């Protein structure tokens, strides 16, 4: 897995897990990779994975069963959606709007880019 430097790696792992849940790749009650497994597969220090899992546990998105592993918790989908939506609306959106206005970016242009992206992804899915 590739990480960018603008955000802590553990938060990028958190995002990855959230994405799995929101896209229904990981369903409620399902076991997720063990700390060590994931650490090896994404080439990261186990401590870093642990921190991500701990963070997710706090948000009640995953839960731990001692000696067994981490599992997607029951209300995970809702909790994830709520958590990310709040983050988005409160933090990202205002900054985003500010940038758009400062840079004089046309909203319609963005929409066009967005739709272009959607189409290209649909093509990829059909492959």
Partner DNA sequence: GTGGTCTAGACCACC
Partner DNA sequence: GTGGTCTAGACCACA
Which residues bind to a second copy, rule: CB under 8 A?
Answer: 5-6, 8-9, 18-19, 22-23, 45, 58, 64, 66-67, 81, 84-85, 88, 91-93, 95-97, 99-103, 105, 107, 110-111, 113-114, 117-118
Q: How far apart are CA 32 and CA 18, in angstroms?
A: 12
Contact 32, 72 (CB under 8 A): yes
Taking contact as CB under 7 A, which single stretch among the options 34-42, 84-92, 105-113, 117-125 is the one that binds DNA?
34-42
Interaction partner, residue 11 (a second copy, DNA, none; CB < 5-8 Å by kind)? DNA
| Other C-beta atoms lying within 10 Å of the C-beta of residue 80 | 24
Can you tell me which residue has the tokens 């046309």?
Answer: 106
Tokens 């900054």 found at: 95
Q: Which does 97 bind (CB under 5 to 8 A by kind): a second copy, DNA, none?
A: a second copy
Smallest gap from Cβ 17 to DNA, in A, equals 13
Shortest Cβ 115–a second copy spacing (Å): 8
11 binds DNA per the rule CB under 7 A: yes
Give dist(CA 62, CA 54) in Å, integer.
9
By CB under 7 A, tell whether 102 contacts DNA: no
Judge whether 1 and 37 are in contact, CB under 8 Å. Answer: no
């Amino acid at each position: 897995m590739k990480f960018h430097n603008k955000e802590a790696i553990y938060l990028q792992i958190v995002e990855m897990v959230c994405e799995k849940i929101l896209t229904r790749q990981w369903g409620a009650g399902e076991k997720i990779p063990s700390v060590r497994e994931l650490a090896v597969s994404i080439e990261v220090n186990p401590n870093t994975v642990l921190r991500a899992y701990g963070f997710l546990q706090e948000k009640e998105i995953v839960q731990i069963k001692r000696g067994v592993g981490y599992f997607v918790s029951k209300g995970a989908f809702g909790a994830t959606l709520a958590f990310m939506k709040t983050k988005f609306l409160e933090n990202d959106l205002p900054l985003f709007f500010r940038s758009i206005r400062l840079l004089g970016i046309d909203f319609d242009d963005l929409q066009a880019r967005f739709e272009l992206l959607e189409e290209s992804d649909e093509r990829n899915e059909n492959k």
